[in-house]
Amino acid sequence: MRPHSHQILQKVEQTISLQNMFSKGDSVLTGVSGGPDSVALLHILVQLAPKWEFTIGIAHLNHCLRGAESDRDADFVADLASRLNLPCYSEAIKIRSDPAFRKLSLETAARQVRYDFFDRISRQNGYHKIAVGHHRDDNAELMLMFLFRGSGPLGFSGIPPVREDRIVRPLISTSRNELVAFLNENAITYQVDKSNRDMRFLRNRIRHETIPYIQACCNPGIVETLNRFSKIVRSEDEWMNELIQPIYEKALVSAGKHRVVLAISILKNIVFSYRGCTGTG
Residue range 86-100, pLDDT digits in tens: 999 999 988 777 776
Q: What is the pLDDT of residue 43?
A: 97
**Comparison of pLDDT for 265 and 169, the residue scoring more:** 169
- Find out whether 193 and 132 touch, Cβ atoms under 8 Å: no
Statement: residue 61 has pLDDT above 90? yes
- Find out whether 37 and 176 touch, Cβ atoms under 8 Å: yes
Please give the Cα distance from 13 to 214 (Å, whole number): 31
Statement: residue 65 has pLDDT above 90? no
**The residue type at 132:** V
Average pLDDT, the chain: 90
**The residue type at 18:** L
Statement: residue 208 has pLDDT above 90? yes
Report, as an integer, the average pLDDT of 181-192: 95
Report which secondary-structure segment, H or E, holds 89.
Answer: strand 88-92
Confidence of residue 279 (pLDDT cuts 50, 70, 90): low
Global pTM exceeds 0.75: yes
Q: What is the pLDDT of residue 270?
A: 75
Q: What is the pLDDT of residue 149?
A: 86
Buried b (16+ CB within 10 A) or exposed e, 108-144: ebbeebbbebbbebbeeeebbbbbbbbbbbbbbbbbb
Please give the Cα distance from 190 to 184 (Å, whole number): 10
Confidence of residue 175 (pLDDT cuts 50, 70, 90): very high
Return the CATH number of the domain spanning residue range 3-232: 3.40.50.620
pLDDT digits (tens, 9 = 90+) for 228-263: 999 999 888 888 888 888 888 888 898 888 899 989
- Tell me the residue ranges of DSSP E strands in the chain: 27-31, 55-62, 88-92, 129-131, 162-163, 167-168, 252-255, 260-262
- Helix-then-strand count for the chain, H and E: 11, 8
Report, as an integer, the average pLDDT of 208-221: 96
Share of the chain above pLDDT 70, in %: 93
Domain segments of the chain as ranges:
3-232, 236-278
